[in-house]
Amino acid sequence: MDRCGCGDDFASIFDRATAESDRDRYRRHGPDGSTRLLLDMLLRAGVRGASLLDVGGGIGVIAHELLREGAGRAVLVDAAPAYLEVARQEARVSNLLERVEFVDGDFVRRAGAIDAADIVTLDRVICCYPDAEALVSMSAARARRLYGLVLPRDAWYVRLAIRLNNLRFRIARRAYRSFAHPNGLVDGLVAAAGLRPIGERRTLFWRVVLYERAA
């Protein structure tokens, strides 16, 4: 299964070597399939001049892609220091450093100091965070216009894959765990924040949804 995004206690999982591997794959092949589906929906909705908040942004793929397409500025939040450092270096190489702010830490714990943005994205992040209610509610509240998610589908084989993945980490005595939060719970939290779905795509494992703030 694809790698999930961010959260606590991930330094041993999302380390420098993994971040550099993700960067090299991005340079060779561009965004992963589910990320590309989200980007396509965002570009169709319009991003010119928009501000971006990318929660669990990893090496900064969404920020790089949207800034190149005319977005104004981006804030990238991630709890894995190694990923933020690689993201910062990649932004420097791409001449985007002055348009990106990097925030190190758990978004839920730091949310009070993070401003709203026109676009908020969580690409394979909800599956890595134990408290979906806090993560989704706080991030959706900061979306002024668009809110994009990539999360595991509600399917038996997805839940099985996540359980097996967690067993592997437990055997290795690592603290990291993945989570199969119910899609209905996530949709309800987003709706409570005043957003409605305007587009949805799926892969075998991932559900990709774009929401828009209701008028």
pLDDT at 14: 86
Q: Give the model confidence (pLDDT) of 65-90 as tens digits.
A: 999 999 999 999 999 999 999 999 99
Average per-residue pLDDT for the chain: 94
Q: Say what percent of the chain tops pLDDT 90.
A: 90
| Domains parsed from the chain with CATH numbers | 16-213 (3.40.50.150)
Mean local confidence (pLDDT), 138-163: 98
Residue whose structure tokens are 């270096």: 89
The sign of the CA dihedral 17, 18, 23, 28 is positive
Q: Which residues contact 176 (CB under 8 A, 6 or more apart)?
A: 7, 9, 10, 12, 13, 128, 169
Tens-digit pLDDT profile for residues 1-11: 333 444 446 66
- The tens digit of pLDDT for each residue in 47-63 reads 999 999 999 999 999 99
